[in-house]
């Protein structure tokens, strides 16, 4: 077997061992507590998970939440990028918008959810909250990226009258890539956390957060564990997908991959 394949097997084995360890800890704690209401056993949670997995409702709920979070995340990432651009071009825009972004950054998400509940329809609230949480992350990262783009390269491009599109493709995008990556990975995690919190509070129809809230109200702790597990799996899967997409984008610019 080649080294690469062997390493992959080793890494999968290591991940499985870590998973087994934590499942054992969970099982031990559940046995110790011995109350399904407080801490259900892992086999019960898994059983419930597979029972839900075969229902249409499960897929509808999961897909609806996924769509809302992804929408909010994409809007926040794009909006932050546009804000960063606008602030780079205009001092007035910076003076006006910077305090607003700082306020969004430092205000607890629950405050926004409660305020936004007054103005926005329940199904749109998680989208708006995810957007609002991702926006300042994206803005801060991309602003730093724009500021750190090599001025000498931009000056060289100006001298040779390089087209604006080429300047973006060949100078800005490669320079911004690490900043975009950081914004995307941090922002995605935040979008999930804030979006699901918004769903729990607003309880829209067909939402993971609403299911979590229902599980709490009905004292179905195993269901609460299942939905939490679903959020964790989706969040990690989406992050992996995003990283893969960005890596593919970077391959066009990364020296080590061309070498």
Partner 1 sequence: MSMALRQVNICFAGRQVLRDFSFTVPESGLTCLVGPSGCGKTTFFRCLAGLIEPDSGTAGGLEGVTVSMAFQENRLLPWFDAAENVAFAVNNDRELALRALAVMELSDAADRLPAQLSGGMQRRVALARAWAYNGRLLLLDEPTAGLDEELAGRVIRRFKDRWQDRPALLITHERWLADRFADRIYEASGPPLTLKDT
The residues binding partner 1 (CB under 8 A) are: 152-153, 155-163, 166, 170-171, 174, 253-255, 258-259
Closest to partner 1 by CB, 167 vs 229, is 167
Our CA dihedral for 43, 46, 48, 51, rounded to 10 degrees, sits at -130
Cα 235 to Cα 102: distance, rounded to the nearest angstrom: 26
CB of 257 to partner 1, least distance (A): 10
Q: How many CA atoms lie within 13 A of 50 on its CB side?
A: 5
Q: Least CB distance from residue 29 to partner 1, whole Å? A: 50
In the bound state with partner 1, the residue whose beta carbon lies nearer, of 123 and 174, is 174
Report, in Å, the least distance between residue 138 CB and partner 1.
23
- If phi > 0 it is left, if psi is from -120 to 50 it is alpha, else beta; for residue 220 that is beta
Residue pair 201/114 in contact (Cβ under 8 Å)? The answer is: yes
Residue (119 or 160) nearer to partner 1, CB:
160
Distance CA 133, CA 146 (A): 21
Shortest Cβ distance from residue 149 to partner 1 (Å)?
Answer: 12
Closest by CA to 195, choosing from 239, 130, 136, is 130
- Cβ proximity to partner 1, 56 vs 152, nearer residue: 152
Do the Cβ atoms of 30 and 42 come closer than 8 Å?
yes
CB of 88 to partner 1, least distance (A): 20
Q: Which run of H or of E encompasses 141?
A: helix 125-147
Residue 145 C-beta: closest distance to partner 1, Å: 15
Tokens 């998400």 belong to 109
Between 121 and 166, CB nearer to partner 1? 166
| Closer Cβ to partner 1, 14 or 252, answer by number | 252
Query: How far apart, in whole angstroms, are the C-alpha atoms of residue 52 and residue 229?
Result: 12
């Amino acid at each position: 077997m080649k080294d690469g394949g062997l390493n992959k097997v080793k890494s999968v084995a290591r991940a499985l061992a870590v998973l087994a360890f934590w499942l054992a800890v969970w099982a031990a704690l559940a046995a110790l507590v011995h109350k399904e209401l407080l801490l259900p056993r892992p086999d019960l949670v898994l059983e419930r998970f597979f029972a839900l997995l075969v229902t249409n409702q499960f897929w509808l709920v999961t897909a609806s939440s996924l769509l809302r979070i992804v929408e909010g995340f994409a809007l926040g990432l794009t909006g932050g990028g546009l804000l960063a651009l606008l602030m780079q071009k205009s001092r007035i825009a910076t003076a006006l918008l910077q305090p607003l972004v700082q306020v969004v950054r430092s205000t607890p998400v629950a405050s926004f959810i409660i305020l936004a509940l007054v103005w926005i329809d329940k199904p749109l609230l998680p989208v708006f909250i995810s957007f609002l949480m991702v926006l300042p992350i994206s803005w801060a990262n991309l602003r730093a990226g724009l500021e750190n783009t090599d001025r000498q390269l931009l000056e060289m491009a100006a001298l040779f009258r390089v087209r604006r599109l080429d300047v973006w493709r060949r100078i800005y995008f490669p320079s911004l890539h690490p900043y975009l990556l950081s914004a995307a990975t941090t922002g995605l995690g935040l979008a999930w956390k804030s979006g699901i919190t918004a769903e729990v509070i607003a309880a829209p129809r067909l939402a993971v957060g609403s299911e979590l809230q229902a599980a709490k109200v009905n004292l179905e702790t195993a269901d609460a564990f299942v939905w939490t597990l679903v959020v964790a799996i989706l969040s990690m899967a989406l992050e992996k997908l995003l990283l893969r997409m960005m890596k593919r984008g970077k391959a066009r610019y990364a020296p080590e991959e061309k070498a």
